[in-house]
A and B are shown apart, each in its own frame.
Chain A
Amino acid sequence: MLSPVILITAILNGLLTGAVYALVALGLTLIYGVLHIINFAHGALLSAAMFAAFFSFTLLRLDPYLAVFVVTPAFFLLGYLLQRFVIGPTSRGDDRNMLLVTLGLSVVIENVLLYSFRADTRTIDVPYAFETLDLGFTFLPIPRLIGFGVVFLVALALWALMRFTDVGKAIRAVAKEKLGAQLSGIDVAHVYAMTFGLGTACVAIAACLLMPSYYVNPTVGNAFVLIAFTIVVLGGMGSVPGALIGGFVIGVVESLSGLFLGESLGQIGIFLIFIAVLLVRPTGLFGAKA
Chain B
Amino acid sequence: MKRLGAIILVVAVLAAVPLVVQSNTTLNFLVVTLLVALAGQGWNILGGYGGQYSFGHAAFFGTGAYATAILQVRYGVNAWPAFAAGIALGAAVGWIIGALTFRAGLRGSYFALVTLAFAEVLRIIASVAPITGAGVGTLVKLDLRFEALQFQSRASFYWFILALVAVSLLIAHAIERSRFGAYLIAVRENEDAAKALGVNTTRIKLGAMVISAAITAASGCFYTQYFLFIDSGIAYGARMSVEALLTPIIGGVGTVFGPLVGALVVQALGEAAKHVAGDAPGLSLIVYGCVLVLVIGFAPRGLIGLVDTARRAVARPAKREAVNG
Interface residues of chain A, those whose CB is within 8 Å of chain B, are 32, 36-38, 40, 86, 89-91, 95-97, 99-101, 103-108, 110-115, 118-119, 218, 222, 226, 229, 233, 264-265, 267-268, 271-272, 274-275, 278-280, 282
**Top-3 shortest CB links A-B:** A90-B297, A114-B282, A107-B289
Distance A96 CA – B283 CA, assembled complex (angstroms):
26
- Verify if B199 is at the interface (C-beta below 8 Å from A): no
B124–A264 touching, CB < 8 Å: yes
- Number of residues of chain B lying within 8 A (CB) of chain A: 41
The residues in B between 51 and 67 inclusive whose CB is less than 8 angstroms from any CB of A are 51, 53, 55
Which of A101, A272, A282 lies at the interface centre, i.e. has the most chain B CB atoms within 10 A of its CB? Answer: A282
How distant is A73 from chain B, measured CB to nearest CB, in Å? 25
When distances are taken between beta carbons in the complex, the residues of chain B under 8 Å from A264 are: 124, 127-128
Query: Which residue of A99, A114, A226 is within 8 Å of B120 (Cβ)?
Result: A226
A114–B289 touching, CB < 8 Å: no
B121–A107 touching, CB < 8 Å: no
Distance A74 CA – B113 CA, assembled complex (angstroms):
28
B114–A275 touching, CB < 8 Å: yes
| CB-nearest residue of chain B to A36 | B109
A226–B289 touching, CB < 8 Å: no
Q: Which segment of B97-105, B152-160, B206-214 sits at the interface?
A: B97-105
| CB-nearest residue of chain B to A232 | B113
B117–A97 touching, CB < 8 Å: no
How distant is B9 from chain A, measured CB to nearest CB, in Å? 31
Distance A107 CA – B55 CA, assembled complex (angstroms):
12
A96–B51 touching, CB < 8 Å: yes
B124–A271 touching, CB < 8 Å: yes
When distances are taken between beta carbons in the complex, the residues of chain A under 8 Å from B289 are: 104-108, 111
A111–B286 touching, CB < 8 Å: yes
Query: Which residue of A99, A105, A111 is within 8 Å of B109 (Cβ)?
Result: A99
| CB-nearest residue of chain B to A275 | B117
Query: Which residue of A38, A86, A267, A272 is within 8 Å of B113 (Cβ)?
Result: A38
Distance A99 CA – B112 CA, assembled complex (angstroms):
8
- Verify if B249 is at the interface (C-beta below 8 Å from A): yes
A89–B297 touching, CB < 8 Å: yes
How distant is B250 from chain A, measured CB to nearest CB, in Å? 11
| CB-nearest residue of chain B to A107 | B289
Residue pairs across A and B with Cβ atoms less than 8 A apart, 7 shown, are A104-B293, A111-B283, A111-B289, A112-B282, A115-B282, A268-B121, A278-B104
A108–B296 touching, CB < 8 Å: no
Distance A187 CA – B282 CA, assembled complex (angstroms):
38
When distances are taken between beta carbons in the complex, the residues of chain B under 8 Å from A267 are: 124
- Verify if B106 is at the interface (C-beta below 8 Å from A): yes
- Verify if B5 is at the interface (C-beta below 8 Å from A): no
Query: Which residue of A32, A37, A105, A265 is within 8 Å of B293 (Cβ)?
Result: A105
Distance A279 CA – B245 CA, assembled complex (angstroms):
24
Distance A205 CA – B101 CA, assembled complex (angstroms):
34
Distance A106 CA – B239 CA, assembled complex (angstroms):
12
B117–A108 touching, CB < 8 Å: no
Q: A38-B113, A96-B53 are in contact. Are A111 and B297 (CB under 8 A)?
A: no
How distant is B251 from chain A, measured CB to nearest CB, in Å? 14
Distance A89 CA – B293 CA, assembled complex (angstroms):
11
Distance A103 CA – B244 CA, assembled complex (angstroms):
13
- Verify if B110 is at the interface (C-beta below 8 Å from A): yes
B242–A103 touching, CB < 8 Å: yes
When distances are taken between beta carbons in the complex, the residues of chain B under 8 Å from A115 are: 280-283, 286
When distances are taken between beta carbons in the complex, the residues of chain A under 8 Å from B112 are: 38, 40, 99
Query: Which residue of B117, B282, B290 is within 8 Å of A218 (Cβ)?
Result: B282
Distance A96 CA – B48 CA, assembled complex (angstroms):
11
Distance A113 CA – B285 CA, assembled complex (angstroms):
11
When distances are taken between beta carbons in the complex, the residues of chain A under 8 Å from B296 are: 90-91, 97, 100-101, 104
How distant is B7 from chain A, measured CB to nearest CB, in Å? 27
Query: Which residue of A97, A106, A110 is within 8 Å of B300 (Cβ)?
Result: A97
How distant is A30 from chain B, measured CB to nearest CB, in Å? 15
- Verify if B108 is at the interface (C-beta below 8 Å from A): yes
B104–A279 touching, CB < 8 Å: yes
When distances are taken between beta carbons in the complex, the residues of chain A under 8 Å from B127 are: 264
